[in-house]
Structure 1
Amino acid sequence: MHSGDYMNGIINVLKPPGMTSHDIVNFIRKKLKIKRVGHTGTLDPNAAGVLPICIGKATRVVQYFDDFSKSYRAELTLGYETDTQDKYGEIINRKAIPDITSDELEQVFNEFKGKIQQIPPMYSALKHNGKKLYELAREGKTVERKPREIIIHNISIIKNYDNKRVLFDVECSKGTYIRTLCNDIGKRLGSLGCMTFLVRTQVGDFKIENAYTIEEIEEYISNGRLSSIMMPLDSVLKHHKLVKLDQKFYDILKNGGKIKLSDHNYKFNSESHRGEIRVYCDDIFIGMGLVEETAEGTILKMDKVFI
């Protein structure tokens, strides 16, 4: 790809273990020779899995990934805990594993379904007084973290290794720490727990079976074919309703203008189209708009223009 080429879209990256999310961003920035590259949510450096990367104008849809649930396959090992809550940290405590039946194990896992409170770990990128928690943790400091509400949509045991190691799948909301989930489940079982494996299998509609390794991406870039594996930026907005307007409105919408829908027989109202809606001229995606009811009629007002 030539440095002058400018691309807009989303790549479903299969992040390898050992690279941070920002490492992936830097890798693509250097290969494409463009600055506007961003990831859609940090994945632990030692974890592998789905990491959608936004390029060009698609960086403006990063915020919409907050709406998506995420899915993981993880392994919980019982009997000890570490300062990082995963196997890469220092062991800080050990505790015998009580006799647990498979039914009891299943019951405890199910207790974590739904809305729960979770205290973020010290080894995380959250900030306290402008400093990342993991930086404070490396200095031997601990600060109070307030519990946050998260949602565990689904959690299911895949394999149970003698009630000592448990492989499980979980679908959860943004802000969920799987390491902390393992830690909390271990304590609920009367022992201690540590995450010993993690792979992210899905973010919204981005699935691991459709993800590309960095080696594959490098090859697509060198062959000038990266666009063939990029998703259009409106692909992450499918959960929003849409309106398709005539081509004659293109310039007005592109420049962030307003259109009186009621003058053009478009049947929309602010009740049935609450929040942002996708706006198209013919099949060209313009951006996100808002429908408002005014004294003059139904108005479509552009909120974010992406072209």
Structure 2
Amino acid sequence: MDVSGILIVNKPAGVSSHRIVNIVRRIYGIKTVGHAGTLDPMATGVLPVLIGRAVKACEYMQDHDKSYVAGVKLGLCTDSGDTTGTVLKEYEGELPDFDTFSQAAESFVGERMQVPPMYSALKVGGVKLVDLARKGIEVERKARKINIYSVVPFENDGVFYIDVNCSKGTYIRTLCEDIGDKLGCGACMCSLERRRVGDYSIENAYTAEELEGLSEEELAALLIPVETVFAQYPKIMLPEFYSKLFKNGCEIYCKKIKKQEIELGTEGLLLRVYDRDGFIAFAETAMYDKGLAVRAKKMFFN
């Protein structure tokens, strides 16, 4: 099956992101499959799986904002920052009520520096932090700037939750721990569902079970075009002559392709590039000796 695109999978708990990739490889019969943004085995929800040529967009998908719903267990601290880890401390006093919890959680809205947790897929020296953590090794991590756009606390069956919209690189387990620290009782994450990555939401996600037994045509119809990863960038159209040059690695000077929907007069402008056959590249404008030109950052044509 010669297909390419993005499949939004609704990952269940207890399954690794890598396992989901292997399942998609088997179902689609394609080796070139990857995912954009690891979900821990305990986490559920949106896992964008990229198939065929779309794999080349992985690095750009990871830049998208995300939304999560997390359960927060007050009064419990673990080595992993979630309830799957070893308990380090249990709070023996009276736990805060929901209103107090809400005020603390909402106070984390805005830009801040966050230190990635040891139990994460982030790599240091080519090794995942979580692999070091499982060996009892802790290394220094640099704090990174994140942006938490909104935190909406709610309660369900006695469990406190936070609905979070945030920038890339935000670790929700660390946010849960930080809320617990602010309350003075400690906390860890007891559940996590990723609801959205960029414009790809849980409403458009499929379980592995739903994929089983579908025909090739039905499976292909589920794929979202890779160009949607770059939907926020302006579009230009190349005539056939310049398209051939561009596909062969040549930069195209902006003065040669004046009739566009946007003004190509700024260096560093990010673009979607099309020809008569459709989307062919993610590109940028750059200054050369002969003037401003469009050059490819990543090619996607067949």
Q: Which amino acid aligns with 1:40?
A: A
* One of 137, 147, 160 as aligned partner of 2:133: 137
TM-fit CA distance, 1:115: 1.4
Q: Is contact 1:256-1:303 (8 Å) kept?
A: no
Name the counterpart of 1:269: 264
Report the CA distance between 1:274 and its aligned residue: 3.5
Pair 1:251–1:21, CA change in 2 (3 A): same
Alpha-carbon distance in structure 2 between the residues aligned to 1:97 and 1:240: 52
Cα distance, 1:284–1:116 mapped onto 2, change above 3 Å: same
In the alignment, the residues of structure 1 paired with residue 288 and residue 138 of structure 2 have an alpha-carbon distance, to the nearest angstrom, of 53
Matches within 5 A, 1:228-247: 228-247=221-240
Matches of 1:115 and 1:209, distance apart in 2: 28
137 and 305 in structure 1: CA distance in 2 versus 1, 3 angstrom threshold = closer
Q: What is the match of residue 74 of structure 1?
A: 70
Structure 2 residue aligned with 1:96: 92
Aligned partners of 2:32 and 2:224: how far apart in 1?
A: 16
CA distance in 2 between partners of 1:155 and 1:28 (Å): 33
- Mapped to 1, the partners of 2:80 and 2:257 lie a distance apart of 59
Structure 2: how far apart are the matches of 1:215 and 1:207?
A: 18
Using the size of structure 1 for normalisation, the TM-score is 0.89
Q: How many residues matched? A: 299
Give TM-score scaled by structure 2 length.
Answer: 0.90
3-state SS, counterpart of residue 185 of structure 2:
coil
User: 1:1-307 alignment to 2 at 5 Å?
Assistant: 5-98=1-94, 100=96, 102-159=98-155, 165-220=159-214, 222-266=215-259, 268-271=263-266, 274-282=268-276, 284-293=278-287, 296-307=290-301
Aligned mates of 1:145, 1:243 — CA distance in 2: 41
Deviations 1:26-54 (A, max 9, x none): 11122333221000010111111000100
Cα distance 1:110–1:59, how it changes in 2: closer, same or farther (>3 A)?
A: same
Runs of 4+ that moved beyond 6 A: none
**Unmatched 5+ residue regions in structure 1?**
none
Q: Distance in 1 between matches of 2:127 and 2:237?
A: 46
Preserved contact between residue 148 and residue 166 of structure 2 (Cα < 8 Å): yes
